[in-house]
Chain A
Amino acid sequence: MYDKIWESHVVREVPGEPSLIYIDRHLVHEGTSPQAFAGIEAAGRKVRRPDLTFAVMDHSVPTKNRELPIVDDNARLQFEALARNCKKHGVRLFDMFSRNQGIVHIIGPELGITQPGLTIVCGDSHTSTHGAFGALAFGIGTSEVEHVLATQCLLQDRSKTLLVKFNGRRPKGVSSKDLILTLIGKIGISGGTGHVIEYAGEAISRLSMDARMTICNMTIEGGARAGMVAPDQTTFEYMEGRPFVPRGSEFKAAVDQWMKLPSDAGAKFDKTIELDATKIAPQVTWGTNPGMVTSVTDRVPDPNSFRDPDEQKAAVRALEYMALRPGTPITDIPVDRVFIGSCTNSRLEDLRAVARVVRGKHVARTLKAALVVPGSRVVKAKAEAEGLDSILREAGFEWRDAGCSMCIGMNEDVLPPGERSASTSNRNFEGRQGKGSRTHLVSPIMAAAAALAGHFVDVRDLGVDVTE
């Protein structure tokens, strides 16, 4: 599949040089684009295809009251710069007041901007999300953003391919987040470096689009820039009727093309990894990168249990940062705050699953805060139409406006020093959610369960509805 998409996007290929690859969709946000727009202007260049460029405000947007003035001057200046750049270059902008605003990787698929077979880039590493549709999508740096603005192309070397098969069905209470965390725990955070991953197997093909996006989103946490799932009936059903998706006979023609994308039987991959999905349990990270993860039924590992001396040192340091002792049962770890959101897990299905777990219950008294930040304003509106906001509010959650929020803490949603979160986001790096903050990555239903209990708990033991 990767080879098919690559070959249909080659503009120029010369031995000994990287290939010039055409980019079908360029997504832009306020954080990594100002210097790129400044660059093309300084060089007297133009945006080649403003019609294929889509901009949104997401990283620093407030999630409380957006009508109030932005108090953070630097954030305000970035929003103003994005609005100015989009206006000047004719780029479509979803600003923070748009009904379609949301996290870039949520709104791309939601609007049908993301489609099978396309090449999609964005100055954000979680662009891998869009691969869930059978697109080739990856994150780029700001210089490359500038390159795409100016040329609608990128200089790229062909990646190696890695097939990851999740065999069998995942057990109840085990979500797509647990599948991808298990993979990263197994291959490590650099295990996928240099590769594009294709996910396959029964556990993957049974997943909804929302769940596939969670898998592809975290592909970068395993070092691979792009992850893909072959488009199928689930994909086409999701696509139909979205604003940027063709209608009627044009849609049928598009589906016919998309059906040619999946890898041919017997396609060769540089590497294959197989996992047994039936054996996977809900996952909780204990350390300071997403590969430092274990099952909720397990304990905080002893650094001496790692063979590699560098890994031992990293584990010692991680446990010190996280203030955890080896051998502590994961379920004994208390939680200060719960964050449900981010481009990994803030889609409608995620919120529905959380609501099913907490319905009629209340978050633990010991909890300092529990936030639900929908991935987009469309997700928010749909959730409200279903009454999910009331269920969540009654259970003690704050119901916020859409944005990146506490995943990266660029707005006011910051995890204070020394506090511990159960977070549905993608990175538990030191200081990620706020200086000195301690992040544990989990699935939405595991975060919901931790919110109720005030500590990590196996959501399967709660006697609640864990269907997704």
Chain B
Amino acid sequence: MQPISKHTGLVMPLDRVNVDTDQMVPKQFLKALTRQGFGRNLFYDWRYLSGEAPNPDFVLNFPRYRGASVLLARANFGCGSSREHAPWAILDYGFRVIIAPSFADIFYNNCFKNGILPITLPDAQVDELFRRAEANVGYQLTADLPNQTVSDTQGLKFHFDIDDFRKTVLLEGLDDIGLSLKHEPEITSYEQRHQPKATLYEAVDSKQ
């Protein structure tokens, strides 16, 4: 996972509440075997007209937001399906930072597994960022993870909260499976104490 510390990038405002992960990656793209190449399918149904012609009315296709890497969103971003294809698509498209008033739980978790920084800010601050992003062509924001701030070049600076452990994971690009495996003795000890098992008492029709 690519670490993230300080990121400056063009802001794309997506002015919709409750954007669910079905919209980020529709079901037909879930039949994949790898994590790569989802960027071209990000927001597929909103982004393309028939024949995959770009929908000129969808913000992602506005020329002014080409190359955006900071996604400005509304409340409950990432609700619905647990599909990690959603953050894979967001990252593959080029976004590294998402700013919203709130995120859905599973999506929020998934961001940290993929080196995406999800920043939660109060509604009023997000409103202000929407105003600035829409009013200024080329509007950029800098997300500074070590200092937990979001700032622009016009003097705006907001502080954000983030869990210390998650912060470290992103800053160092940690593989949390590797971290957990360091506690293998504790896992083994738990298993010895609790003896977790799944015993079959009657034949079932399965392959093993």
Known contacts A147-B180, A155-B180, A429-B23: A140-B82 contact under CB 8 Å: yes
Q: Is B64 an interface residue (CB 8 A)?
A: no
Within 8 A of A (CB), among B106-158: 106, 109-110, 113-114
Neighbour of B164 across the interface among A16, A125, A435, CB < 8 A: A16
Describe B's contact surface by its main secondary structure: loop
> Which residues of the other chain, B, contact A93 by a CB distance below 8 angstroms?
206-208
| Residue interface bits B149-172, CB-to-A below 8 A is 1, else 0 | 000000000000001110000000
Of the residues B27, B31, B110, B183, contact of A20 by C-beta under 8 Å: B183
Provide the bound-state CA to CA distance between A48 and B45, in Å.
39
Which residues in B have some Cβ–Cβ distance to A below 8 Å? 15-18, 20, 22-23, 26-28, 30-35, 45, 74-76, 79-84, 87, 102, 104-106, 109-110, 113-114, 163-165, 175-181, 183-184, 186-187, 190-191, 194, 196-208
A87 and B207 form a contact (CB under 8 A): yes
Partner pick for B45 among A78, A91, A431, CB 8 A cutoff:
A431
Q: How many residues on chain A are close to B (CB under 8 Å)?
A: 89
Min C-beta distance of A83 to chain B, whole Å = 8
A contact face: mostly helix, strand, loop, or mixed: loop
Q: Enumerate the 10 nearest inter-chain pairs by beta-carbon distance, A residue then B residue, closest first.
A: A143-B113, A74-B31, A141-B84, A190-B76, A141-B110, A139-B82, A142-B84, A99-B205, A125-B82, A243-B202
Residue of chain B at shortest CB distance from A247: B201
**A72: Cβ under 8 A from any B Cβ:** yes
B49 to chain A, nearest CB (A): 11
Query: Do residues B20 and A190 form an inter-chain contact, with CB atoms below 8 A?
Result: no
With A90-B208, A94-B206, A190-B18 in contact, is A45–B190 under 8 Å at CB? no
Give 1 or 0 for each of A118-160: 1 = CB within 8 Å of chain B CB.
Answer: 0000011100000000000001111110110011110101000
Which A residues have a C-beta under 8 Å from some C-beta of B?
Answer: 8, 11-12, 16-18, 20, 22, 24-25, 31-32, 34-35, 38, 43, 45, 48-49, 51-52, 54, 59-60, 72, 74-75, 77-78, 81, 83, 86-87, 90-95, 98-100, 111, 113, 123-125, 139-144, 146-147, 150-153, 155, 157, 189-190, 193-194, 220, 223, 225, 243-247, 289, 310-311, 313-314, 317, 408-410, 427, 429-432, 435-436
* Alpha-carbon gap, A144 to B84, bound state (A): 10
A103, B1: Cα distance in complex, Å: 32
6 contacts between A and B (CB under 8 A): A17-B165, A20-B180, A77-B33, A141-B87, A189-B79, A223-B105
Could you tell me if B186 and A100 are in contact, using CB atoms closer than 8 angstroms? Answer: no
The smallest C-beta distance from B19 to any residue of chain A, in angstroms, reads 10
Decide if B80 touches A43 in the complex (CB within 8 Å). no
Q: A190: which of B33, B79, B114 is its contact (CB, 8 Å)?
A: B79
Min CB distance A51 to B, Å, is 6
Beyond A144-B109, A247-B201, list 16 extra A-B contacts (CB 8 Å): A8-B194, A22-B196, A25-B198, A31-B83, A45-B181, A75-B31, A83-B207, A111-B204, A141-B106, A155-B179, A223-B104, A245-B201, A310-B17, A311-B17, A410-B28, A435-B45
Q: Which residues from B are CB-within-8-Å of A190?
A: 18, 75-76, 79, 102, 104
